[in-house]
Chains A and B, each alone.
Chain A
Amino acid sequence: DGGITQSPKYLFRKEGQNVTLSCEQNLNHDAMYWYRQDPGQGLRLIYYSQIVNDFQKGDIAEGYSVSREKKESFPLTVTSAQKNPTAFYLCASSTSMSRDSPVSYGYTFGSGTRLTVV
Protein backbone atom coordinates (compact mmCIF):
# COMPACT_ATOMS: atom_id res chain seq x y z
CA ASP A 1 0.00 0.00 0.00
CA GLY A 2 2.32 2.71 -1.25
CA GLY A 3 1.50 6.31 -1.90
CA ILE A 4 1.05 8.43 1.15
CA THR A 5 1.64 7.33 4.74
CA GLN A 6 0.47 8.99 7.91
CA SER A 7 1.65 8.08 11.37
CA PRO A 8 0.73 7.40 14.03
CA LYS A 9 -2.79 6.16 13.43
CA TYR A 10 -3.87 7.22 16.94
CA LEU A 11 -2.31 9.92 19.08
CA PHE A 12 -3.11 11.15 22.55
CA ARG A 13 -2.09 14.59 23.71
CA LYS A 14 -2.03 16.04 27.17
CA GLU A 15 -3.09 19.59 27.82
CA GLY A 16 -0.31 22.06 27.02
CA GLN A 17 1.69 19.57 24.96
CA ASN A 18 2.84 19.92 21.36
CA VAL A 19 2.54 16.88 19.13
CA THR A 20 3.71 16.22 15.60
CA LEU A 21 1.85 14.20 12.98
CA SER A 22 3.89 12.63 10.23
CA CYS A 23 3.02 12.57 6.53
CA GLU A 24 5.27 10.95 3.92
CA GLN A 25 4.62 10.36 0.22
CA ASN A 26 6.51 8.48 -2.47
CA LEU A 27 4.37 9.67 -5.38
CA ASN A 28 6.78 12.43 -6.43
CA HIS A 29 3.97 14.94 -5.87
CA ASP A 30 4.97 18.55 -5.46
CA ALA A 31 1.92 19.71 -3.52
CA MET A 32 0.89 18.52 -0.06
CA TYR A 33 -2.01 19.45 2.18
CA TRP A 34 -3.28 19.02 5.72
CA TYR A 35 -7.00 18.87 6.41
CA ARG A 36 -8.93 18.48 9.60
CA GLN A 37 -12.11 16.40 9.60
CA ASP A 38 -14.74 16.91 12.27
CA PRO A 39 -18.08 15.09 12.42
CA GLY A 40 -20.65 16.83 10.26
CA GLN A 41 -18.22 19.52 9.11
CA GLY A 42 -16.43 17.94 6.20
CA LEU A 43 -12.76 18.72 5.58
CA ARG A 44 -11.19 22.03 6.48
CA LEU A 45 -7.78 23.11 5.18
CA ILE A 46 -5.08 23.77 7.76
CA TYR A 47 -1.90 24.30 5.70
CA TYR A 48 -0.68 23.52 2.22
CA SER A 49 2.62 23.49 0.39
CA GLN A 50 3.21 23.66 -3.33
CA ILE A 51 7.00 23.26 -3.28
CA VAL A 52 9.81 22.46 -0.89
CA ASN A 53 10.60 25.18 1.68
CA ASP A 54 7.35 26.99 0.99
CA PHE A 55 3.90 26.66 2.57
CA GLN A 56 0.78 28.74 3.10
CA LYS A 57 -1.91 28.95 5.74
CA GLY A 58 -5.26 27.45 5.01
CA ASP A 59 -8.60 28.38 6.53
CA ILE A 60 -7.90 27.19 10.08
CA ALA A 61 -4.13 27.52 10.58
CA GLU A 62 -4.20 29.00 14.09
CA GLY A 63 -2.56 26.69 16.62
CA TYR A 64 -0.80 24.62 13.96
CA SER A 65 2.61 24.74 12.30
CA VAL A 66 4.23 22.85 9.42
CA SER A 67 7.54 22.45 7.66
CA ARG A 68 8.47 21.27 4.17
CA GLU A 69 12.18 20.53 4.17
CA LYS A 70 11.86 17.57 1.81
CA LYS A 71 9.54 16.94 -1.10
CA GLU A 72 8.41 13.66 0.44
CA SER A 73 7.57 14.95 3.90
CA PHE A 74 5.09 17.46 5.32
CA PRO A 75 4.79 17.11 9.11
CA LEU A 76 2.10 18.93 11.06
CA THR A 77 2.63 20.14 14.63
CA VAL A 78 -0.40 20.70 16.78
CA THR A 79 0.66 23.25 19.37
CA SER A 80 -0.74 24.00 22.80
CA ALA A 81 -2.29 27.12 21.27
CA GLN A 82 -4.81 24.97 19.41
CA LYS A 83 -7.79 25.07 21.74
CA ASN A 84 -9.78 22.19 20.30
CA PRO A 85 -7.33 19.76 18.74
CA THR A 86 -9.36 16.57 19.08
CA ALA A 87 -10.12 15.60 15.48
CA PHE A 88 -9.23 13.36 12.57
CA TYR A 89 -6.32 14.74 10.54
CA LEU A 90 -5.87 13.94 6.87
CA CYS A 91 -2.80 14.54 4.76
CA ALA A 92 -3.08 14.66 0.97
CA SER A 93 -0.81 15.21 -1.99
CA SER A 94 -1.24 16.09 -5.64
CA THR A 95 0.70 17.08 -8.71
CA SER A 96 1.36 20.78 -8.62
CA MET A 97 -0.64 22.97 -10.95
CA SER A 98 1.23 25.42 -13.15
CA ARG A 99 0.76 27.49 -16.27
CA ASP A 100 2.03 24.55 -18.31
CA SER A 101 -0.08 22.07 -16.36
CA PRO A 102 -3.22 23.92 -15.35
CA VAL A 103 -5.34 20.83 -14.73
CA SER A 104 -5.64 19.16 -11.36
CA TYR A 105 -5.77 15.39 -11.14
CA GLY A 106 -7.20 15.42 -7.66
CA TYR A 107 -5.77 14.39 -4.33
CA THR A 108 -4.29 11.20 -2.98
CA PHE A 109 -5.06 10.86 0.72
CA GLY A 110 -3.35 9.21 3.63
CA SER A 111 -5.25 6.99 6.02
CA GLY A 112 -5.39 9.70 8.69
CA THR A 113 -4.38 10.28 12.31
CA ARG A 114 -6.95 10.48 15.06
CA LEU A 115 -5.79 12.91 17.73
CA THR A 116 -7.41 12.96 21.16
CA VAL A 117 -6.70 15.31 24.02
CA VAL A 118 -6.62 13.55 27.40
Chain B
Amino acid sequence: AQRVTQPEKLLSVFKGAPVELKCNYSYSGSPELFWYVQYSRQRLQLLLRHISRESIKGFTADLNKGETSFHLKKPFAQEEDSAMYYCALNNCREAGKSTFGDGTTLTVKP
Protein backbone atom coordinates (compact mmCIF):
# COMPACT_ATOMS: atom_id res chain seq x y z
CA ALA B 1 0.00 0.00 0.00
CA GLN B 2 1.18 3.50 -0.71
CA ARG B 3 1.76 5.89 2.14
CA VAL B 4 2.91 9.48 2.58
CA THR B 5 4.38 10.72 5.83
CA GLN B 6 4.92 14.34 6.80
CA PRO B 7 6.58 14.08 10.20
CA GLU B 8 6.09 17.71 11.24
CA LYS B 9 2.58 18.98 11.87
CA LEU B 10 3.87 22.46 12.70
CA LEU B 11 6.99 24.24 11.52
CA SER B 12 8.00 27.75 12.46
CA VAL B 13 10.91 29.76 11.05
CA PHE B 14 11.95 33.39 10.93
CA LYS B 15 11.76 35.46 7.77
CA GLY B 16 14.88 35.03 5.68
CA ALA B 17 15.80 31.68 7.22
CA PRO B 18 15.94 28.48 5.16
CA VAL B 19 12.99 26.16 5.40
CA GLU B 20 12.59 22.47 4.68
CA LEU B 21 9.29 20.61 4.87
CA LYS B 22 9.84 16.88 5.03
CA CYS B 23 7.97 14.25 3.08
CA ASN B 24 8.66 10.52 2.99
CA TYR B 25 6.75 7.98 0.96
CA SER B 26 6.34 4.26 0.46
CA TYR B 27 5.31 2.95 -2.93
CA SER B 28 6.19 -0.18 -4.86
CA GLY B 29 6.22 1.41 -8.31
CA SER B 30 7.76 4.48 -9.87
CA PRO B 31 6.41 7.41 -7.84
CA GLU B 32 4.86 10.65 -8.99
CA LEU B 33 5.03 13.22 -6.23
CA PHE B 34 3.45 16.60 -5.72
CA TRP B 35 3.37 19.43 -3.23
CA TYR B 36 0.12 21.30 -2.69
CA VAL B 37 -0.34 24.48 -0.67
CA GLN B 38 -3.33 26.04 1.05
CA TYR B 39 -3.01 29.70 2.01
CA SER B 40 -5.38 31.20 4.54
CA ARG B 41 -8.93 31.46 3.14
CA GLN B 42 -7.86 30.10 -0.23
CA ARG B 43 -8.43 26.76 -1.87
CA LEU B 44 -5.86 24.00 -1.98
CA GLN B 45 -3.67 24.41 -5.04
CA LEU B 46 -0.82 22.63 -6.75
CA LEU B 47 2.59 24.05 -5.89
CA LEU B 48 4.94 21.82 -7.83
CA ARG B 49 5.44 18.39 -9.38
CA HIS B 50 8.63 16.40 -9.12
CA ILE B 51 8.51 15.45 -12.78
CA SER B 52 8.71 19.04 -13.98
CA ARG B 53 11.80 19.85 -11.89
CA GLU B 54 10.68 23.44 -11.56
CA SER B 55 11.05 26.12 -8.93
CA ILE B 56 7.81 27.78 -7.89
CA LYS B 57 7.78 30.83 -5.60
CA GLY B 58 11.38 29.96 -4.74
CA PHE B 59 10.48 26.44 -3.61
CA THR B 60 12.15 23.33 -4.97
CA ALA B 61 11.74 19.66 -4.21
CA ASP B 62 14.01 16.82 -5.24
CA LEU B 63 12.89 13.24 -5.44
CA ASN B 64 15.34 10.98 -3.62
CA LYS B 65 14.41 7.41 -4.46
CA GLY B 66 17.12 5.95 -2.24
CA GLU B 67 15.74 7.71 0.83
CA THR B 68 12.13 7.66 -0.50
CA SER B 69 11.84 11.35 0.21
CA PHE B 70 10.53 14.45 -1.51
CA HIS B 71 11.38 17.31 0.82
CA LEU B 72 10.26 20.84 -0.04
CA LYS B 73 12.91 23.53 0.38
CA LYS B 74 13.29 27.27 0.16
CA PRO B 75 16.55 29.07 0.96
CA PHE B 76 14.97 32.28 2.30
CA ALA B 77 11.46 32.04 3.75
CA GLN B 78 9.02 34.93 3.37
CA GLU B 79 6.02 35.78 5.55
CA GLU B 80 3.68 35.09 2.64
CA ASP B 81 4.89 31.48 2.62
CA SER B 82 2.90 30.86 5.78
CA ALA B 83 0.37 28.19 4.82
CA MET B 84 -0.56 24.53 5.07
CA TYR B 85 1.53 22.28 2.83
CA TYR B 86 0.56 18.79 1.69
CA CYS B 87 2.76 16.22 0.05
CA ALA B 88 0.94 13.79 -2.27
CA LEU B 89 1.84 10.57 -4.06
CA ASN B 90 0.07 9.74 -7.29
CA ASN B 91 -0.88 6.14 -8.04
CA CYS B 92 -0.19 5.77 -11.73
CA ARG B 93 -1.83 2.34 -11.83
CA GLU B 94 -5.16 3.40 -10.33
CA ALA B 95 -6.71 6.23 -12.29
CA GLY B 96 -4.22 8.72 -10.97
CA LYS B 97 -5.67 8.80 -7.48
CA SER B 98 -3.45 10.46 -4.95
CA THR B 99 -2.57 9.69 -1.36
CA PHE B 100 -1.93 12.75 0.78
CA GLY B 101 0.17 13.28 3.85
CA ASP B 102 -1.37 14.83 6.94
CA GLY B 103 0.06 18.23 6.12
CA THR B 104 2.52 20.65 7.70
CA THR B 105 1.51 24.11 8.84
CA LEU B 106 4.35 26.52 8.13
CA THR B 107 4.53 29.81 10.00
CA VAL B 108 7.11 32.37 8.94
CA LYS B 109 7.65 34.94 11.68
CA PRO B 110 8.77 38.50 10.96
Roughly how many angstroms separate A109 CA and B44 CA in the complex, as a whole number?
6
Chain A residue numbers with a CB within 8 Å of B95 are 31, 48, 50, 56, 96-97
Query: How many residue pairs at the A-B interface have CB separations less than 8 Å?
Result: 60
A35 to B97, alpha carbons, bound, how many Å?
A: 11
Cβ–Cβ contact A42 & B100, under 8 A: yes
Report the bound CA distance from A41 to B99 in whole Å.
12
Checking A40, A42, A108, A110 against B86 with a beta-carbon cut-off of 8 angstroms, the contacting residue is A42
Beta-carbon contact of B43 and A111 below 8 Å: yes
| Range for the number of chain B residues in contact with chain A | 20 to 34
- In the bound complex, residues from chain B placing their C-beta under 8 Å from that of A102 are 92
Decide if A104 is an interface residue (CB 8 Å cutoff). yes
A96-115 interface code vs B (CB 8 A; 1 in, 0 out): 11000011111111111000
A89 interface contact, C-beta 8 A: no
Given A42-B103, A104-B32, A106-B34 in contact, is the A58-B97 Cβ separation under 8 Å? yes
Residues of B within 8 A of A112 (CB): 43
Would you call B96 an interface residue if the criterion is a C-beta within 8 Å of the partner chain's C-beta atoms? yes
Q: Is A94 interfacial (CB-CB < 8 Å)?
A: yes
Return the CB mask of B87-103 against A: 1 if under 8 Å, else 0: 01010100111111111
Knowing A31-B95, A31-B96, A97-B96, the reply to whether A110 touches B43 (Cβ < 8 A) is yes
Write the chain A residue with the least CB distance to B41: A111
Measured between beta carbons, the chain A residues less than 8 angstroms from B46 are: 106-108
Given contacts A40-B9, A42-B101, A42-B102, contact A104 B96 (CB under 8 A): yes
Determine whether the beta carbon of A104 is less than 8 Å from that of B92.
yes
Contact indicator A90/B97 (Cβ below 8 Å): no
Q: Are B32 and A103 in contact (CB under 8 A)?
A: yes
Give Cα A38–Cα B28 distance, bound, in whole angstroms.
27
Q: Mark B38-60, 1 if CB is under 8 A from A, else 0.
A: 00000111100101000000000
B residues adjacent to A (C-beta < 8 A): 9, 32, 34, 36, 43-46, 49, 51, 86, 88, 90, 92, 95-103
Pairs of residues from A and B, 6 with the lowest C-beta to C-beta distance, nearest first: A42-B102, A43-B100, A106-B46, A50-B95, A97-B96, A109-B44
